[in-house]
Amino acid sequence: MTNEIETLWEDIYGTAYPDEKDTLLELLEERSDQATNTSTETDWYQTGVVYSLYVDLFADDFDGLIERLDYIEELGVTVLWLLPVLESPMVDQGFDVSDFSRVRDELGGTDAFLHFVEAAHDRGIKVVFDVPINHTSDQHEWFQDARESEDAAYRDYYIWNDDTEKYEETRLLLKGVSDSNWTYNEPTDDYYFHRFYDVQPDLNYKNPDVLIDMVRILTRWQVEGVDGFRMDAAPFLWKREGTNCENLPETHTILQLFRAAFDYIAEGTIMIAEANQEPADVVDYFGDGDECHVAYNFPIMPTFFLALAENDPTYITDELASLADLDVPDTAQWFTFLRVHDELTLEFVSPDERRLLNDEYRRDDDWEFRDGEGISGRLYNLLEEDPERVLLAYSLLFSVEGTPIIYYGDEIGMANDRAFFEEMNEQLGYDDSRYLHRGPFDENRKAAAMTDEDSNAHTIWTGLREMIETRTNNPTLFNEQPTYRAENGVFVSTRTHGDRTLRTYNNVTTEPRTVDGVALDGYEYAWRLSGQ
């Protein structure tokens, strides 16, 4: 394994940094000696159900989250994806990290977090969290040092230029929020580079000390018991003039080195690629089974909404057929979703489809994100507060390959929170529509879901729990690759293992349909399990 790490290091830096390479190897040997949480279960990410939440908005802090584990377990969740928990000034809801080594005090701090991890593990629930590996907050001590002088110790941890004309081919990722990838730094009379907010300067991985420090940070959390990391902004790590600074070979090699480092210490710690890219680029983040274990299936997400908008399931089957042609390692897995904390992204659909989706789902100008390339909003709002359409969307999600993600509150039909949206935009000074669907967990809707059989919240909660229970009770079927077809306006998914078969029928039209003798009303779904 050390030979592999040395090779990866030299693929990035050549032979120019022998002392730094030795430092890395010594660090990994030390971490290996510290590891006590080794497990024989290394493919856990290929099964179960993921639940994504902000700790503060869902449960106030980690003590509160421990108290909510009963609720999470009752839903049937097996993996908790914690949105940013590390120290941060919270300009970008925690994705602007000011200290990678500490959990925020208002969440209870690092000790409370580790206590929570132990409590989750006692229930068989895995814990992963976000790490923005591409950038830091401008309040990070590295950047605070770097911005003061060209001779500062951490100056080369970031990217500087005398003007804004470097890397001109890079996209603006937050169009309508940030109008440049460069921001002026008065103390040194130059500019620093960033792909997101101007308070999130990009790290400079051409400096090997950056890579060593990030490995040191991540492997420290690994030996503390964290089961995996969502590698936020993974495609942007390496920059090269004359390119769009995305998906470069060195970026993939850096991720492979992270993977090799984790595996050297203890296999089973997963890396999740947050790569909102074209499908052929997304699958590259699996490597040959030696890069990220998981990638978010961004390409399939908009097809669910297209199918419902146009009453046409071929949007889904066509995309699945395209993905089937791509080379995905057997050990890799998709994480699939209807909604998460970010927008319904429309970057990589066709212009006609983008217009169609905006016309259908952007029912308020405040829902616009990135000048029409995204739509903000809760699933419940996007589907016109119709619980049957929400459950149909979930049935579509569970019908396709991959491990499904539920965004906190969507399981009870939580709605957009306009007050939170207005409060956060006023407080932070950015016009970011995503705060519509990032509000505090709705306790009233939770109570309705638990008790009021006539409520929309109860309908969604009970229907989704049934789907999760079927998935949990039939792991061999859900480990099988489904086959798909679109017939008479119905999306049909079939899983078979031995003599057992599960077929899911999803009528995405408004009219009654019959397929294989299964009669469905408009926007109705049915699951048929046969065999012993």
**Cα distance between residue 98 and residue 126, in whole Å:** 25
The one catalytic residue in 87, 96, 138, 274 is: 274
d(CA 111, CA 105): 10
What's the token pair of residue 81? 């994806």
Dihedral sign of CA atoms 461, 407, 403, 216 in order: negative
Cβ atoms of residues 375 and 361 within 8 Å: yes
DSSP collapsed to 3 states, 188-233: HCEEEECCCCCCCCEECCCCHHHHHHHHHHHHHHHHCCCCEEEEEC
The CA angle 258-132-148, to the nearest 5 degrees, is 105
| Cα gap 37→398, rounded to integer Å | 31
Catalytic choice (232, 284, 368, 373): 232
Report d(CA 48, CA 26) in Å as an integer.
36
Residue 341, φ and ψ in degrees, nearest 5? -70, -20
Catalytic site residue 487? Answer: no
End-to-end CA distance of the chain: 44
d(CA 375, CA 363): 10
- Give the β-pairing of 182-185 and 190-193: antiparallel
Gap between the Cα atoms of 513 and 298, Å rounded: 29
The structure tokens listed for 130 are 């976000």
92 catalytic residue (yes or no): no
- Any idea which residues carry the catalytic annotation? 232, 274
